[in-house]
Each structure stands twice: as C-alpha cells, then as structure tokens.
Structure 1
C-alpha cells in the first residue's frame, strides 16, 4: 500500500518481479473513465487503451481508423481513473511505421498529455531500433508480436501465427531493445510457451494459451458488450449487452404506459 493508504502503483519493475516470482498478470482494455475505474478497483494490473477502440466503440471493421488524437482523448480519461493499474496506450497506425522521431513524439504526447505510463508498439525484430530509441528517450514500450491487427491488409486477414522461430526472434529482439514486456497475440499455445521461455521479461497472451506470464482480453468481449464476431479465445463472463437491451426495453414500456416518471421521480 502507498503511504496515503492508496494501492501501490503497478510499474515496469513490479511487473518484472511478477514474472520472476511466477505470479500472473491481468490486463484488460479500457477506453473511458467509469470502465477504467471499475477495472482498477477490481485489481486489474494493466489497463490497455487499445486501438481496438476503433472497432468496439467506433464500429469500424479494423483498428486502422484510430488516430493519435483519439488515443490521447481516451487515454486521458483512463489515466485519470486508474489509481493502481499501469496504463498502456497503443500507438495507432501509422505512428509506429513512420520516422522513429514521429514515434518518439507520439509516445511523448502520451506521457505528457495523459496520466498513462507506457505505449504498446506492434511489430517484431524490424521494430527493435524504434523500441530502443523510444526507451532511450524515456518512453517505456510493450512490444506486440504474433498477429498484428495493424498489418491486416498485408497478412490478408486475421489468422493464427505459427512461425515459431521468427516469433521467438521477434520477441528476443524487442527484449534486447529495451521492451519491458511482450504481448503475444493469436499463436498456438506451444509457440507462445516457447516465446515465453526464450525471454526474461513478462509475456502477456491473447489467444496464446496458458503458458505466458499474463492474459489480456478486450473488456467488451469479456462482458458481452459486443455486436458481432467473438473470437475463439474469448471467455464471456457477463451479458451486459443483453442487460442494457432489457433495461432500455423496460424504460420504453414505462414511458409508453405512463408509469415513468412516477411520484418518486418527480419534484413537488
């Protein structure tokens, strides 16, 4: 606990200690203040302001429409809500693909304009110089290997990544460049376990089986607040979408039959 009776903040160092002690790490997405507040109070270790906001909030088919200004807007809300969790922000397309200086500027915006703590960068060994430059500039970086949603048009869709030797090379290069953790997306369980064993930093899996240090899911998938395809690797823990529909239907009916507002909801 902190000196003011607030929970101790999760940091890159405490995450590394988790890995060394064999302790699991939990990570969920957040895009707004109330969601981030509830997730933080639930003890989630890392909140990810993902470029998935373009899909699950914005209704787009890919993550590509997310802009840097939008990421800052959502990150500012999440960063204000999180008292214990580390908050990591995706660098949206094409911030991680242009000049290295552009990525440094984008990462600096995250640290300066929000209360967030790190960025996540998609890519493998080819991103090592960018990771090293950003870390040298004081910007903590979580690497992202395996399925790369920003690369969807090159890859021809979302598919399981099975190239174990390449993925291990990618993860080790990211670690050597200074990444404090590696997110592994949509790979066979055995491949993810091999990646985990090849590096010493924490690994966070999504669709990667149980051999990683931690797990991440998109919160909207977790709580059943989706309107489309649910990936195989998702476990749905609640049906919030159905609850919203039922509540809205009940409200409509009460308005139509005149029972709302009643005496308790009216001023005298």
Structure 2
C-alpha cells in the first residue's frame, strides 16, 4: 500500500498509484480490472482481490466507501457533457470525490485540457462502440498492417496529448504486443489478448450473466442460470401469494394480530352504547 493525498486533498492509501501502473510496463506483471455497478458487485470485487476498478460517475462515492484503497477509474458518457468547461468541471469533481483516473472518448483537445490540469486521463482505441458506424459495425481492429499502423499513429497522438491509459478493445493481440512496447501509455486490454498491462472484463461477462456475450467474453461462472431460477421462483411466489389472497387464505393466523383475551366483548359492548 502507498500513502497518498487524493485529488481532493485528503490523506489515503492505494494499492496502486499512477506511477505504479506506469512502472508495470515491461515488468511482465499484469493486473485485473472490472466494472462493478452496485454495492454487492463492488464488495465482491474487493473480496475477490480484483486489482483495479472502473465505475460510472454515479457510483464513485459508493465505490470509494467500499473500496477505500483500490485504484478506481471513473468515466463520462460520450454525450453527457457538451462544452469543455462542463467536462473539466465534471472531471475535477470526480477526482475530488476520490477517483484515480478519468475516462473520456472525446477529442484529443479534451484529453489535452484534462491532462494539463494533472488529471490521469484514460482514452479508448480499437473497437470503440460509440463510433462503430464509422467502422461499418462492430468489428475487430488491427488485423491488417494498415490498421495496425493507424493504431500506432493514434497511440502516439494520444501520448502527445497527455493520455495516461487506454482501453484497447478487440485489437489483434500481435498488434497490441508490438504497440505496447512503443508507448508509455498503460494499456487496458478488453478482448485484445494477453498483451495489455491490465486485463479488463465486464462483470456480466465474468459471471455469466449476459445472454448474448461478445466473442471475447468468458464466463467463469453461470449466474445467468441462477438469475433465471430466481426469477422463476419469484414469479411462483407472487402467483401463490395472489391465489391465496383471492381465496381468502392469506394472511395466515401467524401473520395476523389478535385482540387480547376478553377485549373483543368489551369492544362490542362499548360500540353498543354509542
């Protein structure tokens, strides 16, 4: 653990700092990353020892409370803010709330603006779902040398803009392997093989909760089956509840309240005198 001051000027500790992640490059060590979205998922990541977390802005306070020493990134949606001032204000607010890096897939001037203020900025390359229209749909990237060179140039431009980390989604492993040796950016592999400094997978994919998972996903358990069984049990319980209410069977005596002995007669007597 490293002692730090947060961007909100509060003392704290972290399992990894920005420098630690940068120093990992070339070390042969890889870290894990997941995206918990509620209290149960955050606690599960902590208990499982997941190295780093990424959460949406609405969850940063909860994540920092439940995972006080974890390196945690947070994000803005592509169209969540329009002006540079809005983005900068949001990023600073998230960092002050305890985030350790800030994700955006907006333009390089936005990356430059955030980096100038000392914010560790994460960007996104390869298959960027937001821009899949430009690529003709959801497709892997970097499988030809032309695409690989284009990725290299984008890497260098983001590096020049001051990006600290980059999610590399669905890029050929060989491409990322070579590019990772030629950039100071911390690479976060999602569907890009074993070449990344950090390996990222969505919670739903890890736990088997997605009915139509992408090709690069792997379910290490089958929570989907459990969810379906729980749903069936929920519907059965509700159906039985409705039936017994309509049949005037429920509430049962054990769930009802009775007057004390002798009080009903007194109540009737009192009502008769009104």
Identify the TM-score tier after normalising by the shorter chain: 0.7 to 0.9
Which residue number corresponds to residue 33 of structure 1?
Answer: 39
Q: Secondary structure at the match of 1:198?
A: coil
Out of 175, 198, 217, the position equivalent to 1:191 is: 175
CA positional deviation for 1:267: 11
Residues 2, 169 of structure 1: CA spacing in aligned structure 2 closer, same or farther, 3 A cutoff? closer
Given that 1:206 and 1:216 are in contact with CA atoms closer than 8 Å, whether structure 2 keeps it comes out as yes
CA contact (8 A) 2:57 2:76 kept: no
- Equivalences for residues 143-154 of structure 1 within 5 A: 143-154=123-134
1:116 maps onto 2:99 in alignment: yes
Structure-2 separation of matches of 1:40 and 1:267 = 42
Does residue 19 of the first structure (1) align with residue 19 of the second (2)? Answer: no
- Structure 1 pair 92/253, CA: closer, same or farther in 2 (3 Å)? closer
RMSD: 2.9
Match of 1:212 in 2: 196
Helix, strand or coil for the counterpart of 2:151? helix
Residues 1:240 and 1:102: Cα distance change in structure 2 (over 3 Å): same
Task: State whether structure 2 residue 232 is matched by structure 1 residue 249.
Answer: yes
Q: In the superposition, relative to structure 1, how do residues 72 and 193 fare at CA in structure 2: closer, same or farther (>3 Å)? A: same
Q: Distance in 2 between matches of 1:170 and 1:147?
A: 13
SS in 1 for 2:133: helix
Q: How many Å separate the matches in 2 of 1:226 and 1:208?
A: 20
Rounded to whole Å, the distance in 2 between the matches of 1:248 and 1:223 is: 17
Q: TM-score, normalised by structure 2?
A: 0.75
Alpha-carbon distance in structure 2 between the residues aligned to 1:154 and 1:121 = 18
SS of corresponding position for 1:183: strand
In 2, the alpha carbon distance for the partners of 1:160 and 1:2 equals 38
C-alpha contact (below 8 Å) 1:25/1:213 kept by paired residues:
yes
Kindly state the Cα deviation for residue 83 of structure 1 after the two structures are TM-superposed: 2.4
- Secondary structure at the residue paired with 1:122? coil
Which whole-Å CA distance do the structure 2 matches of 1:76 and 1:156 have between them?
A: 38
1:112-132 per-position Cα deviation (integer Å, ceiling 9, x unaligned): 3x3322111226xx51x3222
1:90-169 residue pairs with structure 2 within 5 A?
Answer: 90-95=75-80, 98-112=82-96, 114-122=97-105, 127=108, 129-162=109-142, 163-169=147-153
Q: CA 1:7–1:75 in structure 2 vs 1: closer, same or farther (change >3 Å)? A: closer
The alpha-carbon deviation at position 241 of structure 1 amounts to 1.7
Equivalent pairs counted in the alignment come to: 235
Structure 1 alignment gaps of length 5 or more: 50-70, 259-264
Structure 2: which 5+ residue stretches go unaligned? 4-11, 245-253, 258-274
* 4+ aligned runs moved over 6 Å, structure 1: 265-268
